[in-house]
């Protein structure tokens, strides 16, 4: 077992030189840390004593009428001694920081995989995992010299932050689901092209990220259903027609809002409004979306799995 020594007992034993007087032992680790800390403290005390002595010399030189040059030399000696004292303080702080780092590593090592997984099941592990990731990122940032950051890297970091902010805003609006089976490469590719025309590079990059993370490529325009199958209809020209004789029938569609956002909604044939897929009271008036697209022919042509409301996120 490695041991710590009580600092006060160790200092008395070190100064007395009496080998018979054994210092008090404390169970722990890093036996040299107390000795190193004592040595740094002793050096710091000597440096501070030297500063006091030199300041007294300067006062003596001034009262005895010595030359200005002699006072200047003495002042330089004081500054040099202060530098030594400051260096000793920095070394002491670095030693304490190293001890803290080792303590953190020991704490992380004590956390077993079973305990960690149990905490995740309790909903607590995610915060710990985020803390671990942040600690790892901080170490990597501190170990990378500032000169190593290229202009391209800095630009990509700023752009990634803008992408995250846009995605977070869309999630607050209820968007999501791009990574699930209810989404597909043809739909994401089509939306990517449409957002190129809208002109916002952040939206385009987010759709590209979604395809990349799904392991899919951007579908070519010729591979995407054309004509009547994938043709947007203006709501000002016409609205979905009731497929049968029942008034309560609903038609699942893609709708485009005035701001360019695209959602999955259903046309409520009874009330003649755009209802959400949950069937609650959240509705759009018939003239609010600018365009609509019947999803049934698209599903039959691809085919596509069922998509929930907000199946894609910008």
Tens of pLDDT along the chain (314 residues) come to 334 444 455 555 555 555 544 444 444 444 445 566 666 667 677 777 777 777 676 666 555 555 555 556 666 676 777 777 777 766 766 666 666 666 666 555 554 444 544 544 444 444 455 556 556 665 665 565 555 567 788 888 888 888 888 888 888 877 777 877 767 787 888 888 888 888 889 989 999 999 888 888 887 765 544 444 557 788 787 787 766 555 567 788 888 877 777 778 888 777 777 876 555 555 666 567 888 877 777 666 654 444 443 444 44
Residues 235 and 92 in one domain: no
Question: Is the peptide bond between 210 and the residue preceding it cis, with omega within 30 degrees of 0?
Answer: no
Question: β-strand 291-294 against 250-256: which pairing, if any?
Answer: antiparallel
C-alpha dist (Å) from residue 270 to 68, 91, 212, 245, 250: 101, 79, 41, 11, 8
For residue 53, the SS3 value is: helix
Residues 298 and 193 in one domain: yes
Residues 48 and 152 in one domain: no
How confident is the model over 252-308, as pLDDT tens digits? 888 887 777 777 888 877 777 787 655 555 566 656 788 887 777 766 665 444 444
Rounded-to-integer distance, Cα 72 and Cα 55, Å? 12
Q: What angle do CA 213, 293, 184 make, to 5 degrees?
A: 20
Prediction pTM value: 0.34
Q: Of 143, 165, 187, which closes a domain?
A: 143
Rounded-to-integer distance, Cα 4 and Cα 18, Å? 19
Q: Which of 77, 313, 93, 84 is nearest to 206 (CA)?
A: 313
For residue 271, the SS3 value is: coil
Q: How many C-alpha atoms does 287 have within 13 Å on its Cβ side?
A: 2
Rounded-to-integer distance, Cα 209 and Cα 202, Å? 10
Residues 197 and 118 in one domain: no
Rounded-to-integer distance, Cα 188 and Cα 178, Å? 8
- What is the strand order of the sheet 273-275 is part of? 233-234, 291-294, 250-256, 262-268, 273-275, 283-284
Residues 172 and 258 in one domain: yes
As for how many domains the chain has, the answer is 3
Range of the domain at 226: 147-314
Residues 208 and 138 in one domain: no
Residues 139 and 151 in one domain: no
* DSSP result, 233-265: EETTT--PPPSSS-TT-EEEEEEE-TTS-EEEE
Residues 278 and 262 in one domain: yes
Residues 220 and 305 in one domain: yes
């Amino acid at each position: 077992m490695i041991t710590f020594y009580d600092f006060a007992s160790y200092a008395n034993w070190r100064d007395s030189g009496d080998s018979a007087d054994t210092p008090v032992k404390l169970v722990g680790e890093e036996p040299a840390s107390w000795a190193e800390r004592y040595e740094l403290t002793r050096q710091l005390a000597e440096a501070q004593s030297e500063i006091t002595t030199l300041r007294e010399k300067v006062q003596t030189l001034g009262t005895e009428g010595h030359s200005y040059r002699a006072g200047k030399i003495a002042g330089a000696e004081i500054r040099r001694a202060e530098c030594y004292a400051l260096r000793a303080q920095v070394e002491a702080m670095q030693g304490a920081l190293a001890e803290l780092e080792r303590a953190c590593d020991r704490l992380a090592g004590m956390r077993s995989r079973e305990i960690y997984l149990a905490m995740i099941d309790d909903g607590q592990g995610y915060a710990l995992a985020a803390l671990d990731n942040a600690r790892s990122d901080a170490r990597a940032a501190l170990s990378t010299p500032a000169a190593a950051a290229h202009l391209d890297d800095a630009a990509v970091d700023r752009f990634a932050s803008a992408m995250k902010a846009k995605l977070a805003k869309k999630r607050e609006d209820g968007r999501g689901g791009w990574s699930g089976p209810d989404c597909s490469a043809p739909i994401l590719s089509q939306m990517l092209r449409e957002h190129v025309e809208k002109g916002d590079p952040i939206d385009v990059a987010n759709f590209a990220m979604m395809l990349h993370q799904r392991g899919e490529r951007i579908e070519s325009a010729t591979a995407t259903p054309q004509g009547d199958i994938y043709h947007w209809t203006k709501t000002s020209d016409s609205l979905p027609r009731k497929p049968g004789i029942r008034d309560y029938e609903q038609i699942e569609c893609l709708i485009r809002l005035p701001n360019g956002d695209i959602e999955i909604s259903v046309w409520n044939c009874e009330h003649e409004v755009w209802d959400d897929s949950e069937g609650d009271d959240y509705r759009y008036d018939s003239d609010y979306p600018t365009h609509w697209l019947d999803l049934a022919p698209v599903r039959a042509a691809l085919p596509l799995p069922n998509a929930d409301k907000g199946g894609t996120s910008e």
